[in-house]
Amino acid sequence: MQGWYPIFKRELAGYFVTPVAYIFIVIFLLLAGVFTFQLGGLFERGQADLRPFFDFLPWLYLFLIPAVSMRLWAEERRGGTIELLLTLPVSQWGAVLGKFLAAWAFTGLSLVLTFPLWITVNYLGQPDNGVIVGSYVGGLLMAGGFLAIGSCVSAATKSQVIAFVISLMICLGFLLAGFSPVLDFFKGWAPSWIIDAISSFSFLSRFEGLGKGVVSLRDLVFFVSLIGVFLYAAGIVIEMKKAE
């Protein structure tokens, strides 16, 4: 893991030297507000909870997270800086982890910035804050999962557009894994244990589980190992694609 910390710092600072970070945060908060108040009807529901926000969060992340992850490696490869980075005394895993953690910290920060919503519901009523904390943890884990997928895809291409579109498709697959559009595709020809396995990959069901305020070890292990697997795959892809 040698060298991950300077890379983490550089990447994180990198979001804020360019307008990327500000645009992302503003759009994220704006959409979060629109979804929560307009479409979700936070006030009209008459319930002091953040369900409208967390119901829309996966869909918001589906589009915004690939936009963050698409540049992680594709940009390095296009600019040739990958050669510079990987000939500095850092281990490949250090580089993969440093970049991923920076992106995760950044999306985490934007998630934290939705705290006025939390203040609002606490001002208006007595929400179950355990549920809200669980949902925030779930949101953060989901963001990590999407970012790990995005890292891996970004490592495979020089084109950020391709990285964006493909990550979005894979993330959509994971999001809907437990639902009919994905399961119907496998039904009829795949054995039932495969279908069960696929449906257990569903981000949405996992996230809903966490949203009930139960941070179960199983869901935690699921997200952490998913992140691990995709980051490991990212390292392999980087090694394979270096020569191009």
Partner 1 sequence: MIELNSLTKRFGSPSTGILAVDGVTLKVDKGEVLGFLGPNGAGKSTTMKMVTGFLTPTSGSARVCGHDVVKDPIAVKERIGYLPEGAPAYPDMTPESFLDFCAQVRKMGDRAQTRIDQVVERVQLSGVLRQPIETLSKGFKRRVGLAQAILHDPDVLILDEPTDGLDPNQKHEVRSLIREMAGQKAIVLSTHILEEVEAVCTRAIIIARGRVIADGTPLQLAARSRVHNAVTIAVRGADKDHLVSELKRITGVRDVDHARQDDGLCRATAIAKHGHTIAGEVGSLVKARGWGLEELRVEHGRLDEVFREITQSK
List of residues contacting partner 1 (CB under 8 A):
2-3, 6-7, 9-10, 13-14, 17-18, 79-81, 83-84, 86-91, 239, 242-243
**Tokens coding 168:** 């979005």
Taking phi over 0 as left and psi of -120 to 50 as alpha, with beta for the rest, 188 belongs to left
- The nearer residue to partner 1, 17 or 217, going by C-beta atoms, is 17
CB of 72 to partner 1, least distance (A): 13
Biggest alpha carbon distance in the chain? 59
CB of 82 to partner 1, least distance (A): 8
CB of 24 to partner 1, least distance (A): 15
- The nearer residue to partner 1, 22 or 185, going by C-beta atoms, is 22
CB of 3 to partner 1, least distance (A): 5
- The nearer residue to partner 1, 14 or 213, going by C-beta atoms, is 14
CB–CB of 90/7 below 8 Å? Answer: yes
**Tokens coding 170:** 């894979």
- The nearer residue to partner 1, 49 or 76, going by C-beta atoms, is 76
- Cβ of 210: how many Cβ atoms within 10 Å? 26
**Tokens coding 128:** 């179950």
- The nearer residue to partner 1, 103 or 132, going by C-beta atoms, is 103
**Tokens coding 187:** 């039904």
CB of 91 to partner 1, least distance (A): 7
- The nearer residue to partner 1, 16 or 43, going by C-beta atoms, is 16
Q: What is the CA angle 104-237-203, rounded to 5?
A: 45
Written as one string, the DSSP assignment of 15-52 is: HHHSTHHHHHHHHHHHHHHIIIIIIS-HHHHT--S-HH
Half-sphere exposure of 147 (CA within 13 A, CB side): 23
CB–CB of 3/15 below 8 Å? Answer: no
CB of 153 to partner 1, least distance (A): 21
